[in-house]
Amino acid sequence: MKISINLLFLILSFNCCGQDIHYFDKDWKPTISANAEFYRIEKKLDTKWLRTDYYFKTKQLQMKGTYSSLNPEKEDGYFEWYHSNGKLKHKGNYENGNSIGEHLWYGDNGNLEAKENYKNGKLDGVYEEYHPNGKLMSKSSFVEGLQSGWTIYYREDGSIQSEGNFKQGKRDGEWKYYNESGKLIGTSAFKTDYEIKEANIFLSLPNDEWSLSDKSDKGFTKYIFKRNEIIDPNGVAIIPAIMLYIEDAKDFKQDLVSYSIEKEIEFNKKGVKFNNKILIPTDKEFPFTSFENAMLRTGTYTDKGIDHILYMLYIITKHDKGIQLYMDMTKNISDKYEQEFWTTLHSIKELK
């Protein structure tokens, strides 16, 4: 009876002080007390709301912080979160719903896991991650939410594993790799931005998982970009590709329809099924507007029992350069990775 009386007294005390209690299940969906994994107490202050969340079974504090508004929710002030064992999990400041300043993250053993800096809700400044043993895992920096600047990755013993530069969220330039004794064991060159001077265009690869695989100028200019392999749900290694071809298109006299039809003859022979919808620069869905004489369509085909999706972009520039851009990946990974094609399509523009 002592526990029940104390709990009743606690509830009555909350109600008397103008505070509200809300109950939540393990997924933080509202529920009744009998099914609760968490409960929340909210109290009106002079200009803000104080919110404290608790683990229902242990009454251990889970979070506390102040809001300038509850609907919509806008964090405003200092916040703390806790693990179920009572150890601090995360602390930091907010302003008008945005993370600001330094935010610190801790494991349930009390060790620091990450140190972040924010400006207007975006990562901005020094960023550090730590191994479970407390040693530094990585040190980098962010600018307006994108990883930028020199970055070093460390092993648990404190030795450097790799180092190199990030530019707008992508690895950029030469990266160096070391063994445990500090000896250089290899380098990799990363590049995502390309000025294709043969066609006077710029394009950016989706991320640093992509690289230039082949380039040739035999009869026409060819660039082949490939992605690092992806293991599909069936355990098959898939390597998506972006293929760029550039040639003289003077004979087509700016007739892009005839140009595309000729280029698609081989696709027809190989059983590609074309989507009837063709996008042109005046369509809202068209990914760029640098070229007036352009069209984009998609198709599907099956090879060795595996279904593929194929993007086909055709451009004839004002200087009569014919551009073909093909993007190929399997359908069973497209839900997760197809957006990478759109990233490159959105980046295409004419060089000045």
Residues 323/256, Cβ–Cβ less than 8 Å: no
Spatial distance between the Cα atoms of 295 and 297, rounded to a whole number of angstroms: 7
Give per-residue pLDDT as tens, 80-133.
999 999 999 999 999 999 999 999 999 999 999 999 999 999 999 999 999 999
Long-range contacts of 77-86 (CB under 8 A, 24+ apart): 77/48, 83/108, 84/55, 84/58, 84/60, 84/108, 85/60, 86/60, 86/61
Query: What's the confidence (pLDDT) of residue 59?
Result: 95
C-alpha dihedral sign at 254, 257, 262, 264: positive
Spatial distance between the Cα atoms of 201 and 344, rounded to a whole number of angstroms: 12
Query: What's the confidence (pLDDT) of residue 349?
Result: 94
Query: What's the confidence (pLDDT) of residue 15?
Result: 42
What's the whole-number mean pLDDT along residues 246-262? 96
Sequence-separated (6 or more) residues with CB below 8 Å from residue 259: 249, 252, 314, 316, 322
Query: What's the confidence (pLDDT) of residue 133?
Result: 93
Q: List domains and CATH numbers for the chain.
A: 2-190 (2.20.110.10), 193-350 (3.40.1000.10)
Query: For the chain, what is the mean pLDDT?
Result: 92
Query: What's the confidence (pLDDT) of residue 122?
Result: 97
Residue 9 has pLDDT above 50, yes or no: no
User: For the whole model, what pTM was predicted?
Assistant: 0.71
DSSP string, 197-216: TTTTEEEE-SSTTEEEEEEE
Determine the 3-state secondary structure of 342 from DSSP. Answer: helix
Q: Measured between alpha carbons, how far is residue 160 from residues 116, 130, 156 in Å?
A: 21, 13, 9
Query: What's the confidence (pLDDT) of residue 20?
Result: 75
Q: Quick one: what percent of the chain has pLDDT higher than 70?
A: 95
Query: What's the confidence (pLDDT) of residue 226?
Result: 96
Sequence-separated (6 or more) residues with CB below 8 Å from residue 5: none
Query: What's the confidence (pLDDT) of residue 19?
Result: 64
Q: How far from chain centre, in Å, is Cα 272?
A: 31
Q: Measured between alpha carbons, how far is residue 336 from residues 37, 104, 330, 333 in Å?
A: 33, 31, 11, 6
Residue 16 has pLDDT above 80, yes or no: no
Strand partners, 230: 238
Query: What's the confidence (pLDDT) of residue 13?
Result: 40
Spatial distance between the Cα atoms of 142 and 149, rounded to a whole number of angstroms: 7
Give per-residue pLDDT as tens, 153-190.
999 999 999 999 999 899 999 999 999 999 999 998 89
Q: How confident is the model at residue 219 (pLDDT cuts 50, 70, 90)?
A: confident
Residues 328/240, Cβ–Cβ less than 8 Å: yes
Query: What's the confidence (pLDDT) of residue 233?
Result: 92
Residues 141/147, Cβ–Cβ less than 8 Å: yes
Residue 44 has pLDDT above 60, yes or no: yes
What's the whole-number mean pLDDT along residues 25-44? 95
Q: Quick one: what percent of the chain has pLDDT higher than 90?
A: 89
